[in-house]
Chains A and B, each alone.
Chain A
């Protein structure tokens, strides 16, 4: 009896060791890829020296930050990032919820499936490919739009040089690429709503419109809050591909198309401006974290079940 117990203990130890060896490679990768860079954000308070690396470079206090906010362009990048994000979150959610509800109203199961399959196709393509597609429409000499304008007697538009079109173009491309994906997330929730709730509403005399308003929409609250929390955490970040590829790096458009991430990319690869870009990177990380934790705490207070953690 005693011997057997000892055997179990040993085999449990082996089990524990085996499990720890399993996660070891993943843990090492996450330390290198995620945790060391987290500590590396202190670079924002240092004067980066290539010879010494992040952790041994000299401290400079907050001079990177004061330098950052002296440049007027930075405020433009921050404004662009925030405004585009707010528009994307609001329109994206409205569009996705509407599509999901309408999709649920389609009666033919076969048609539903075809629609689902087709609307996520743009989501599957890379931004580089999408930039070729957009170029097919907007190219000054050969683009679909200019050829149509010429055919109706108008004069061609230099799409890639006129700022005023770009907030609309970028918003359209973003919605076009992403609406299928988020519609299907919502659709899955719509399908999961208990049928008896609709029946009860119908008994109370609610038509399809009222059923949508009082049964479907409240049923989507959970999913909407989850998606909202996730996008709020990314409020200081942007879809780099969208803002970098679609305007084709046109410098004339920079003031309406460049976001913080585009600036950081250019700082690393072109201007080597580590000081300011690490300062804005620090702000992105910290604000992103505070937003998720803060909004989550707020949601937990209002409606415990919807909180993410």
Chain B
């Protein structure tokens, strides 16, 4: 279906350029505001370029930021530990499911799939984690509930093992005396790098962006991730706006100014923008594989 018409191509590209701007400009607004001088910001408002460039917000963050450093550390640790554990559990589950020799293979495949069809909702799981396993206000509450292992990753990984790695390789390794763990870690994984990258990046992004586990399980500020900190700041601002009589207390609550808030949000998305251009092909691939396989 080749389009020969130049005019049509022009309109088509124009349309997509507008769509892309719509997707990107809001973040430009965020970044630009963080570099705008506070006085100019309150007078002229948020805008897509700084009214008056100033690094004050970032200087303030550098000097006053023990909470921000703590939160950044929490986010980094949660992302690193969470992603590695998730991938580990995923491949350990996916490999046996991809082998015909696996005992009760169909049962375990259904055991995984059924978690996608039916779930008990948040309340029973919350009660178990909070009241029975006592995860409230612990570091592990940010990793374990709901996020450590999912059927989606297992199914994607298993399909890759079955479809992209020839069975003969595994058979040959077994004849040479290789054990199952050896086959998984020395043969399957090195050959699965593209899929590991795809799943790893998507899982990592999920941990980096997570704030729901924080608001369910964490009230101590020393366990706030960057996202939880941003959520907390916004909640306080809204609380003040909804309760005007509280506004004289605003200074006592020591809320960050408009540009500082935006600067915290910017350092929260900075790693995503820094890494994304180099790994975008894995994301696009992940969406394609994940979306179609369901």
Q: Which residues of A contact B (CB under 8 A)?
A: 12, 14-16, 18-20, 22-23, 25-27, 29-30, 32-41, 43, 48, 50, 53-54, 99, 102-108, 111, 114-122, 124-129, 131-133, 135-137, 139-144, 146-147, 160, 176, 180-182, 184-185, 188-189, 198, 202, 208, 211, 223, 226-227, 229-230, 233, 240-241, 245, 248-252, 261, 264-265, 268-269, 274, 277-278, 281-282, 284-285, 288-289, 292-293, 308-309
A118:B101 contact, CB within 8 angstroms? no
- Say whether, besides A19-B103, A128-B234, A129-B269, A37 and B124 are in contact (CB < 8 Å): yes
CB-CB < 8 A to A274: which residues of B? 123
User: Which residue of A114, A269, A282, A308 contacts B215 across the interface (Cβ within 8 Å)?
Assistant: A269
Q: Chain B, 73-99, contact with A by CB distance < 8 Å: what is the 0/1 string?
A: 000000000000000011011011101
| Measured CA separation A7–B89 after assembly (Å) | 31
Q: Chain B, 239-275, contact with A by CB distance < 8 Å: what is the 0/1 string?
A: 0011000000000000000100110010011001000
- Say whether, besides A181-B287, A264-B123, A26 and B149 are in contact (CB < 8 Å): yes
A292:B210 contact, CB within 8 angstroms? no
CB-CB < 8 A to B265: which residues of A? 129, 132
CB-CB < 8 A to A144: which residues of B? 29, 45-47
A136:B20 contact, CB within 8 angstroms? no
| Measured CA separation A117–B20 after assembly (Å) | 9
User: Which residue of B132, B277, B294 contacts A230 across the interface (Cβ within 8 Å)?
Assistant: B294
Q: Chain A's interface: helix, strand, loop or mixed, by majority?
A: helix
CB-CB < 8 A to B284: which residues of A? 116-117, 120, 184
Q: Chain B, 17-53, contact with A by CB distance < 8 Å: what is the 0/1 string?
A: 0011011101101100100000001101111000000
| Measured CA separation A48–B126 after assembly (Å) | 13
Task: Pick the 3 closest A-B CB pairs, nearest first.
Answer: A40-B124, A37-B120, A185-B291
Q: Which residue of B lies closest to A211 (CB)?
A: B1
B119 within 8 A of A: yes
CB-CB < 8 A to A102: which residues of B? 12, 15-16
Q: Taking the nearest CB of chain A, how far is it from the CB of B144, in angstroms?
A: 8
B92:A36 contact, CB within 8 angstroms? no
B102 within 8 A of A: yes
CB-CB < 8 A to A26: which residues of B? 89-90, 92-93, 149, 154
B9 within 8 A of A: yes
Stretch at the interface among B60-68, B159-167, B178-186, B189-197: B178-186
B140 within 8 A of A: no
A289:B118 contact, CB within 8 angstroms? yes
A15:B16 contact, CB within 8 angstroms? no
CB-CB < 8 A to A39: which residues of B? 120, 124
CB-CB < 8 A to B172: which residues of A? none
Q: Taking the nearest CB of chain B, how far is it from the CB of A205, in angstroms?
A: 14
A119:B20 contact, CB within 8 angstroms? yes
Q: Taking the nearest CB of chain A, how far is it from the CB of B275, in angstroms?
A: 10
For window 111-147 of B, CB contacts with A under 8 Å fall at 111-113, 115, 117-128, 131-132, 144-146
B115:A34 contact, CB within 8 angstroms? yes
CB-CB < 8 A to A188: which residues of B? 287-288, 291-292
| Measured CA separation A141–B117 after assembly (Å) | 46
| Measured CA separation A36–B115 after assembly (Å) | 11
Q: List 7 A-B contacts (CB under 8 A).
A: A22-B184, A102-B15, A119-B19, A120-B284, A143-B45, A160-B241, A188-B292
| Measured CA separation A202–B33 after assembly (Å) | 52
User: Which residue of A107, A181, A308 contacts B294 across the interface (Cβ within 8 Å)?
Assistant: A308
B70 within 8 A of A: no
B89:A25 contact, CB within 8 angstroms? yes
CB-CB < 8 A to B92: which residues of A? 22-23, 25-26
User: Which residue of A14, A133, A146 contacts B30 across the interface (Cβ within 8 Å)?
Assistant: A133
| Measured CA separation A250–B128 after assembly (Å) | 30
| Measured CA separation A292–B148 after assembly (Å) | 25
B20:A114 contact, CB within 8 angstroms? yes
CB-CB < 8 A to B222: which residues of A? none
